[in-house]
Structure 1
Amino acid sequence: MTDSIQLNSAPPEAASALMRLAASDATVRRIAVLDLADLEDATLVPPLVAALRDDPSPEVRREAALVLSSWEQEDVVEALCAALLDADAGVREAAQQALAELKEPGSARVLRRWAARPESFARRAALRGLRELRDAAAFEPALAALADADAEVRLEAVAVLGWLKDVRAVAPLAALATADAHGAVRRAAAGALGFATVDEMNETHAGAALLHALADADWQVREEAATTLGKLRTPTARDALIHALADDYWQVRLRAARALGRLGDAHAATAVSALLAHPISNLRKEAALALGELPSAASLAPLRAALDDRDPEVRKAVRIALQQLAQRLDGRLDGRLAVWLEGGAP
């Protein structure tokens, strides 16, 4: 494993570590890998690659995979990808972790090739690495992976497309958000659509897909759909989001309230105001903040009543909302509230 020429020309510290790479004790070899990495010398990368490829100990190979993430030349990326097929699960996981930490755009060329491997773990790891690199050429491999038989591969593909923000992905992601067999994939697809514009959503019917996802059997899909609809400020989502305020899961109600605040449609104020009486304080707080975004005088009375909420964070949110409404309603407030806004007692 250790080249004699390299050993003879190496500095003393490196020479010592290189010699220990040939020790019979796996623990000694593992520490030698760490010592070589600490030297941060690119000329010492080949023995680290050799350790990853050839060492009989999984612990040594795992350590070599982890330290090699500091170097991103093509032979290292290729070696890390090859380690995705290692017989030891720990080595495979370490290689996947190292690939996910790559930052050099040139690494994407190798990863794109591995995204088409027959082994599902290798495909997942390659796509995860591509996600971090935001490589435009990864669009086609990721798009193809949306049809992968492995749900985890599809999840990674969705993440790649979400980061790339390519409008060509809107329609396929919308289809996945409603039709995938796995809730986690539907949820990820609904979230990934957040990069689109309202026009793009309308042109691809993706907005309708998100509204469909808002009624998904999986509450986490509904939560993500509400979040994305709010992020996109989709006007046609108002009624569906108001309906979601009565969802069985408070997390969905919270996201729906937040989304309605982002829409800024005053017609939602009465429905959102009802949440100020909910037993969960986080939901009351979110409802108050949303009401501050809705220019409706109907919000004033319930907000004023909520000034006495038992939770200080809710009371703070109520004060913020009232101050926002004071600006949005052009000063159309009763005298008592106006005094409070100026610092007096309510």
Structure 2
Amino acid sequence: MRTHFQIVAVTTLCITLLLSASSCKQLDEVLNNEEMQEFHRKGMESGSGLKVGAENQTKDVVVGQEPKLPDPFAPSGKGETYDLIAKRVRCGTDPRCTRDTTKALRELGRRAGPGLISLLGNEAPNDMRIEAIRVSGWLQETTAIEPLKELLTSPQGAIQREAAWALGLIGDPKAIDALAEILGGQNRLELTEAVYQALGGFNDEKAVQVLAEALPKVTPDLRATIVSSLGRTRHPAAVKPLSDVLRDPGELVRVEAVNALASVGGDDAIAALEQAATTDSSETVKKQALDAVKDLKTPRM
């Protein structure tokens, strides 16, 4: 026997769907069918009538337990160097993570070379390739010199700059010609500056020559960069061009020359600094030159 609720429900459906009298009668018969009512009753009792397939959706899920996420630092199967570089990329700004991976890579030493070189190729993700370039530099990985020289001509400016800096950190004279060749082309200012900075990493007369020849051709800002790099070479051949820069019209350039001469040291550098300490038109330059002379003449313990 139909309940009052069922009668109201059928009537409401008929009005909502704008059914004819005959169609409404057929709907009433279907809903009043004993099998349909039994199915509905069992579904309401079990709570599954409105959750078809729910048992499949909740399979293997334990209430109150968070799903297990994959470990981002799990071994990739591509080698220890690859995994450490990948971890450094994911470290972001976490100093502890960066420190730990740096220590691990230093412990690998030369064994890291093959893995680093494989990451310098175009197949590697860009962020990992840049990190591999940096690591090749501070590990002074000499086997990476040739791949790094090739990256100096990369279409990506960031890759070019990182490769130049890495070659400067390695400091092998075999890379000087490649860096000098880059300076002969039409480059962005950032790349040109990076190459001048990189050349400061070579304690070699050829690097000094490349830097010295560029001095009269560049802007004051770049001239200060070149002067700083001449000082970082710590090569005696740098004293002559640096002494000449002490006559530069730019005070900041002359200050940089004083600091560079102090880095190179030696009797000739001291003589140039003593002259600047007495004749320069800038009190700032005079004071720094005098301090540099005192420091260079102080016996080292």
Compute the TM-score of the two structures, normalised by the length of structure 1.
Answer: 0.51
Per the alignment, do residues 324 and 99 of structure 1 end up closer, same or farther by CA in structure 2, a change over 3 Å counting? Answer: closer
Partner of 1:223: 224
State the distance in 1 between where 2:173 and 2:76 align: 30
- Is 1:107 the equivalent of 2:119? no
Shift of residue 137, structure 1, vs aligned partner: 1.0
Deviations 1:228-255 (A, max 9, x none): 32322324415542233x226x2x2222
Deviations 1:4-60 (A, max 9, x none): xxxxxxxxxxxxxxx9xx8338xxx6xxxxxxxxxxxxxxxxxxxx521xxxxxxxx
Partner of 1:140: 146
Corresponding residue SS for 1:24: coil
Per the alignment, do residues 288 and 176 of structure 1 end up closer, same or farther by CA in structure 2, a change over 3 Å counting? Answer: farther
Per the alignment, do residues 270 and 236 of structure 1 end up closer, same or farther by CA in structure 2, a change over 3 Å counting? Answer: closer
Partner of 2:287: 285
Largest Rg, 1 or 2 = 2
Match of 2:241 among 226, 237, 240: 237
Gapped regions of structure 1 (runs ≥ 5): 1-18, 30-49, 53-63, 85-89, 293-319, 328-346
Deviations 1:107-162 (A, max 9, x none): 33222111112554332122112223222211111111111222221222123222
Match of 1:149 among 155, 175, 184: 155
Larger mean Cα displacement after TM superposition, 118-127 or 153-162: 118-127
Is the contact between residue 76 and residue 83 of structure 2 (CA under 8 Å) also seen in structure 1? no
Deviations 1:82-109 (A, max 9, x none): 689xxxxx84857995866622122332
AA at the equivalent of 1:221: L
Aligned positions of 1:143-182 closer than 5 A: 143-176=149-182, 179=185, 181-182=187-188
Is the contact between residue 119 and residue 128 of structure 2 (CA under 8 Å) also seen in structure 1? yes
Is the contact between residue 99 and residue 126 of structure 1 (CA under 8 Å) also seen in structure 2? no
Is the contact between residue 187 and residue 220 of structure 1 (CA under 8 Å) also seen in structure 2? no
Per the alignment, do residues 180 and 260 of structure 1 end up closer, same or farther by CA in structure 2, a change over 3 Å counting? Answer: farther
Is the contact between residue 146 and residue 154 of structure 1 (CA under 8 Å) also seen in structure 2? yes
Provide the aligned length of Structure 1 versus Structure 2.
Answer: 222
AA at the equivalent of 1:24: P
State the distance in 2 between where 1:110 and 1:169 align: 21
State the distance in 1 between where 2:170 and 2:218 align: 29
Identity of aligned residues (%): 19
State the distance in 2 between where 1:120 and 1:74 align: 17
Partner of 1:129: 135
**Which has the larger helix fraction?**
1
Partner of 2:66: 23
